[in-house]
Amino acid sequence: MVDTFRGLAILEVVTHHASGMALRYVEAGSAVYLELLVLNRTLHFAVPAFLFVAAVLLTRSLLRQTDWRRYFLRRVTRGP
């Protein structure tokens, strides 16, 4: 389930970037421009989606193992 959500978020990022690039080459005010603009603005949930997945996976990892010394050592050496 998490992998499916992660895959959808990745596809969203790719589509968001592709539609943003396409907006540069389409005439402003045209129907295609408006459709691309709506698609681009609708797909702004990528960053919150990735943060949500990271929080879920980190919480799941913490609940599985309770070696706090190892956890904090890894956070310090590898970053957040």
pLDDT digit string, tens, across residues 21-60? 999 999 988 999 999 999 999 888 888 888 888 888 888 8
Burial category of 20 from C-beta neighbours within 10 Å (exposed 0-12, middle 13-18, buried 19 and up): middle
Give the start-to-end residue ranges of the domains of the chain.
Answer: 2-78
Summary mean pLDDT of the chain: 85
Q: Please indicate, yes or no, whether the overall pTM of this predicted structure exceeds 0.85.
A: no
